[in-house]
Amino acid sequence: MIIVGAKGFATELLQVCFELGKTDDLLFYDDMTTDLPMYVFDKFKIIRTENEVRKYFDEKNNGFALGLGNPFHRAKMTSIFESWGGDLVSLISPKAVIGNYGVSIQKGATILANAVVTGGVTIGRGILMYPNSIVTHDCAIGDFVELSPGATVLGHCVIEDSVHIGANATVLPKLRISSRVVIGAGSVVTKCISEGKVVKGIPAR
């Protein structure tokens, strides 16, 4: 498998890969950062070109996971890697709590330890849930949504595509957060939010 990204958040995913037994033949990809070493933690090779990616997909397997935050970048890199023949895969920590009833999670989810998804929740492609983020009952979460550490989405909410919910922010029940919204850290959202807005505060404005 290839992890897209090779520093910061990408290295956090190593622990999930270890927990899942997926460290064999693991590579990182970064074509932007010029001062990286050849290996992550002196063990996992960093590749930098499309040709290297395609060769790996042909010779090993075509799985890739998203080792970067930001909904826009996650969606963009998914599109690029799929055009190179890749298959977006999920990395869900066994230490996350995922409800057993009525939960649907599409491919490409990145869910870290201590994240919680309760019952009756649907989750789109490429979601990123950091530690201690929570999605409660009967919520619908769109594609490439990012829930920062401690973010909470309460029951019957609809979170559309590419929304970023900041650390320790709370979305109160029965709200719709439209696509590409950014919710600032620590905010409390009490009303529906229209597309592309940036909000913060208590209540969020």
- Mean pLDDT value across residues 38-60: 96
Would residue 199 count as lying in a domain?
no
Q: How many angstroms separate the Cα of 122 from the Cα of each of 148, 160, 165, 188, 194?
A: 18, 12, 17, 22, 21
pLDDT of residue 110: 97
Number of domains, the chain:
2
pLDDT score of 129: 98
For residue 160, give the amino acid letter.
Answer: E
Which domain range does residue 97 map to? 90-193
Domain-embedded: residue 201: no
pLDDT in tens, 137-196: 999 999 999 999 999 999 999 999 999 999 999 999 999 999 999 999 999 999 999 999
CB atoms within 10 A of CB 79: 10
Binned at pLDDT 50, 70 and 90, residue 98 comes out as: very high
Q: What is the pLDDT of residue 72?
A: 96
Asked if 98 and 185 sit in the same domain, the reply is: yes
Nearest CA-CA partner of 151 in 188, 108, 106: 188
Residue 138 maps to a domain: yes
* DSSP H or E stretch at residue 104: strand 104-105
Same domain, 184 and 96: yes
Residues 123 and 173 both lie in one domain: yes
Type of residue at 19: E
Mean pLDDT across the stretch 88-109?
Answer: 97
